[in-house]
Structure 1
Amino acid sequence: MFFKLAIGSLAAAVAFLQVNAESHTDTFNNKCGRGTPYLYSQTGQLLSTGEAWTSDGEALGLIATHLLGGCGTNGEECTLVEATLKNGASSADISLIPPHVFSVTSGLGYYDGCDDDGTDCTSASCPKAYRKPGDNFAIVGCSADNVNLAFTFCD
């Protein structure tokens, strides 16, 4: 009897974990015709060079940029898109804090939750971008679980 109870409890725990597993996918829409979009982790690990990337859990401190000829290896001299994807507390923004500058039209948009929430930066004047620390109006938040994010360049 104890064995059947233990197996039943284990099966219920596994089912609970599978239902509550956190996952997020980042996709790219590269319309530039040249250059490559890059996605890095907060530790500097290269996660993607334009192909979809899926996290198995929280995706904290993501950095996306579209590297053209004038960009540095960390996206210096280019537009930077930052994101954290976490169930109930995702956020993303476009940063033009030096040494980052406007390089290509860049945008971000959530999907599979918070659809239609996002932002675009279409010129160097980009009024919805971070230009200095504390420009928190630039953050686009999402409280949905397992939300995904699309990065668009040169649209």
Structure 2
Amino acid sequence: MQNQNQNMSDLIESYLKNVLHKNETVEIRRSEIADQFNCVPSQINYVINTRFTIQQGYVVESKRGGGGYIRIMKVNLVDEMDVLNALGDLVPEELSEREGNHLLQNLYENKLITKREAQMMSLMMEKDTFPSNVKNAAEVRSNMMKKLIDNLKYR
């Protein structure tokens, strides 16, 4: 069942990203997309909440109710410093592996780091990289990401 849900999430994500590739904004009705993919509306929420985050370069707005909608916009930041400042502001005090990888992907997509640099940083942030006596790996991961982003501002 999880694999089927994963595939459905991939399909929905792909569909929305294809629409966003043509337009920088997409406005959807959750129930219409759910009907189109023959899934429950909460599946649409899941995809939007996990795959269209600001860390991944998207802004999501929603309006509830009968005429409600969900608007997804691809963020086009003006220059490197804007990207770095925006991403730096998004790093929480505790950063999960997944969130860290989203930020690295965004840095790579904005050509601020190479693919190899992204892969090396991703390896450094993996759960099993930290010794078992490290009390808060998420906090260490956050500090590493903040240092990386700060360093990129001055190269």
Q: Same fold (TM over 0.5)?
A: no
Q: TM-score, normalised by structure 1?
A: 0.28
Instruction: Indicate the structure with greater strand content.
Output: 1
Tell which structure's C-alpha radius of gyration is larger. 1
- Higher RCO, 1 vs 2 (CA within 8 Å, ≥6 residues apart): 1
Instruction: Indicate the structure with greater helix content.
Output: 2
Q: TM-score, normalised by structure 2?
A: 0.28
